[in-house]
Amino acid sequence: MGTVIKGKPVADKITDSLREELRGFEKLTKIPRLGILRVGERPEDLAYERGATNRCKKIGIDVEVKTLPMDVTQEVFIEELKAYNTDSKINGILVFRPLPEQINEEVIKYVIAPEKDIDCFSPVNVGKMVEGDPSGFPPCTPTAVIEILEHYDVQVEGSDCTVIGASMVVGKPAALLLMNKKGTVTVAHSKTKDTKAVAENAEILVVAVGRGKMVKKDWVSDGAVVIDVGINEDEDGSLCGDVDFEQVKEKASKITPVPAGVGSVTTSILAKHVVKAFKKQHQIE
Amino acid sequence: MGTVIKGKPVADKITDSLREELRGFEKLTKIPRLGILRVGERPEDLAYERGATNRCKKIGIDVEVKTLPMDVTQEVFIEELKAYNTDSKINGILVFRPLPEQINEEVIKYVIAPEKDIDCFSPVNVGKMVEGDPSGFPPCTPTAVIEILEHYDVQVEGSDCTVIGASMVVGKPAALLLMNKKGTVTVAHSKTKDTKAVAENAEILVVAVGRGKMVKKDWVSDGAVVIDVGINEDEDGSLCGDVDFEQVKEKASKITPVPAGVGSVTTSILAKHVVKAFKKQHQIE
């Protein structure tokens, strides 16, 4: 039976190390600050905002939240975003997406200042991710996947990795980050003829589809490391991942649970990116 | 024995269609214009420049070349690039790379205007490629790979594709473009444990490594489509690809030759991108 690899130890380690690092900045009068821009009151946004705020507080990062009504115009939204861009107290900006339909994300992604864009909204940061440029900010969730693999000593270099799901939010960036770590990466998606075969071939299997318990025992090779990014509601109302955890943990060597897996690391990556942006903006090395 | 799929018919088709399209613009007094910025006199740059200029002339695109000495400073280089950016007669800019070491490409790639960056130097265009955003300019060589597949009716969607080579110039962008076409893509590289096995699994095999005749007959599955992006000098001084053409053509269903394969399509993609930039800049639809 495989080891269940939880997110909390990873998040705790990052949190501790950031808190320690910030102590070293005490001589500075400035404090890293995250600016959140939220339109409306979607429950999942509010939940993430709560988690991110708590995480940042623990570390010593200030959080400022600007909320806008659901019918806000694109002009006003851009004004508020630009105000964050130019506010020297704000080091990192998080924009909750999707934005309401009257606001064109294709326009907004060019407005956010790339050096404050801590969750990879700007094409500049997408480009840096492809190039493996360490000065950029890859998106938080796929970065959490990499942090978990590193924390639990899973070697990516040279390993056969399969990513199921090719979304811009998780699948594609996870594939690119694994490639940057020199994994041999295959990406499967809705048009893949035999996803099971592709999954079976993996030493590291990352699943980000959004379909509860889709990955069964016979999809996973013996001893594979399984990272489950999905969060779905089960028939009984409880949360479950894209992987059938009870079945697959018998075969995997390591497996993340849902909840308490990848999701619990994401906000510490966000905090890490705020501190990285802060250091860059204040020329701290 | 497989069909040899040459680049020329693809290049001719693109050329004809662009020339036709430009005829429709005759009422315009403006002509699309490519600005080339070249440092020094590297033979491969001169050869490509000649090919690109001829292709553009055939189509009706003007070409302007600015040459700078090998010891040009970064400041002067940036000035010249900015002059192209702001020159309304220039619609597309090609910068030959690598640049000499006193010029930092990490700086320059943010200077080139993304809307004139027809060979994907700017991170904005890299980002658009990842997102599959059709308003961008993916790099010419991997785009030529896709054009060849389309021209010869090779279905990418749902096909198992392997790209050998993970460079930023060809391998990674080819993989991303194939993913955007819904191929199931695996990328192999120097750290891949069993490249032969990954190659054998492919229905479409794209090779961009830069090692002459590396891919042998037993690496290729029966009926695979093989696209060879490599250009190497053989022992006898003749050109050869990364694929052992004579061997592999016995097994492949379709195979590109070297020379006269992918390389002969690249400049028509360049021309296509200049026309696309021209149209966008003049709001022609």
H or E element: which one contains B273? Answer: helix B263-281
pLDDT, position A285: 76
Which residues touch B242 (CB under 8 Å, ≥6 apart)?
A: B164, B207, B208, B209, B210, B211, B212, B213, B214, B215, B228, B229, B230, B232
pLDDT, position B13: 97
Q: Mark which residues 186-225 of B lie under 8 Å from A by CB.
A: 186-189, 191-193, 198
Helices (H), chain A: 8-23, 43-59, 74-86, 105-108, 123-131, 140-151, 171-180, 195-200, 245-248, 263-281
What are the tokens at B6? Answer: 């040459």
pLDDT, position B95: 98
CB distance B127–A127 less than 8 Å? yes
What is the average per-residue pLDDT within B48-66? 97
Tell whether the torsion through CA atoms of B28, B81, A138 and A146 is positive or negative.
positive
Q: Does A74 share its domain with A179?
A: no
Q: Does A111 share its domain with A207?
A: no
User: Considering chain A, what percentage of its residues have pLDDT values greater than 90?
Assistant: 94
Q: Is residue B47 part of a domain?
A: yes
| Residue A27 or residue A202, greater confidence | A202
Instruction: Give residue B156's pLDDT band: very low, low, confident or very high (50, 70, 90).
Output: very high
What are the tokens at A46? Answer: 């509010």
Angle between helices B8-23 and B263-281 (to 10 degrees): 20
Distance CA A182, CA B128 (A): 23
pLDDT, position A103: 98
**Rounded to the nearest 5°, which phi and psi values hold at B46?**
-60, -40
The helix/strand/coil state of B26 is: coil
Report whether the peptide linkage leading into residue B259 is cis, meaning its omega lies within 30 degrees of zero.
yes
Distance CA B117, CA A4 (A): 47
What are the tokens at B193? Answer: 């444990």
Dihedral angle computed from the Cα positions of residues B240, B241, B244 and B245, in that order, rounded to the nearest 10 degrees: -80
pLDDT, position A87: 98
User: Considering chain B, what percentage of its residues have pLDDT values greater than 90?
Assistant: 94
- CATH of residue B149: 3.40.50.720
Q: Is residue A121 part of a domain?
A: no
What is the average per-residue pLDDT within A133-152? 97
Q: Does B104 share its domain with B69?
A: yes
Q: Does A146 share its domain with A104?
A: no
pLDDT, position B1: 81
pLDDT, position A138: 97
Q: Does A253 share its domain with A146?
A: yes
Domain boundary among the residues B80, B115, B150 is at B115
Per-residue model confidence as pLDDT tens digits over A127-136: 999 999 999 9
Q: Which residues pair with B35 in a beta bridge?
A: B64, B93
pLDDT, position B71: 97
Which one of B105, B184, B193 makes the best mutation probe of the A interface by having the most chain A beta carbons within 10 Å? B184
- CATH of residue A71: 3.40.50.10860
Q: Does B249 share its domain with B144?
A: yes
What is the average per-residue pLDDT within A211-222? 97
Closest CA–CA distance from residue A179 to any residue of chain B (Å): 8
Per-residue model confidence as pLDDT tens digits over B86-143: 999 999 999 999 999 999 999 999 999 999 999 999 999 999 999 999 999 999 999 9
Q: Does A247 share its domain with A148?
A: yes
Nearest to A124 among B124, B166, B193 (CB): B124
| pLDDT for B29 beyond 90 | no
Q: Is residue B96 part of a domain?
A: yes
pLDDT, position B28: 72
What is the average per-residue pLDDT within B190-194? 96
Chain B residues whose CB is inside 8 A of the A113 CB are: none
Q: Mark which residues 107-126 of A lie under 8 Å from B by CB.
A: 110, 122-126
> Is the CB of A27 inside 8 Å of chain B's CB atoms?
no
Q: Is residue B76 part of a domain?
A: yes
H or E element: which one contains B11? Answer: helix B8-23
Domain range enclosing B259: 140-263
| pLDDT for A28 beyond 90 | no
Per-residue model confidence as pLDDT tens digits over A163-211: 999 999 999 999 999 999 999 999 999 999 999 999 999 999 999 999 9
Q: What is the ipTM of this complex?
A: 0.92
> Is the CB of A184 inside 8 Å of chain B's CB atoms?
yes
Q: Is residue B13 part of a domain?
A: no
CB distance B126–A127 less than 8 Å? yes
pLDDT, position B197: 97
Chain A residues whose CB is inside 8 A of the B127 CB are: 122-127, 130
> Is the CB of B266 inside 8 Å of chain A's CB atoms?
no
Give the position of tokens 């590297």. Answer: B42
Q: Is residue A197 part of a domain?
A: yes
Q: Does B90 share its domain with B154?
A: no
What is the average per-residue pLDDT within A73-81? 98
Q: Does B145 share its domain with B197?
A: yes
Q: Does A167 share its domain with A227?
A: yes
Strands B239-240 and B232-233: antiparallel
Per-residue model confidence as pLDDT tens digits over B194-243: 999 999 999 999 999 999 999 999 999 999 999 999 999 988 989 999 99
Instruction: Give residue A55's pLDDT band: very low, low, confident or very high (50, 70, 90).
Output: very high
Q: Does A179 share its domain with A75?
A: no
- Number of domains chain B contains: 2
Please give the interface size between A and B, counted as residue pairs whose CB atoms are below 8 Å apart: 91
Distance CA B254, CA B109 (A): 37
Q: Is residue A124 part of a domain?
A: no
Q: Does A89 share its domain with A183?
A: no
pLDDT, position A70: 97
Distance CA B64, CA B111 (A): 19
CB distance A187–B172 less than 8 Å? no
User: Which of A77-81, B12-16, B231-235 has the least mean pLDDT?
Assistant: B231-235
pLDDT, position B218: 97
Which residues touch B185 (CB under 8 Å, ≥6 apart)?
A: A186, A187, B161, B162, B163, B175, B178, B179
pLDDT, position B238: 93
- What average pLDDT is seen over chain B? 96
CB distance A191–B182 less than 8 Å? yes
What is the average per-residue pLDDT within B48-76? 97
pLDDT, position B255: 98
What are the tokens at B192? Answer: 């891949």
| pLDDT for B27 beyond 90 | no
| pLDDT for B179 beyond 90 | yes
Q: Is residue B249 part of a domain?
A: yes
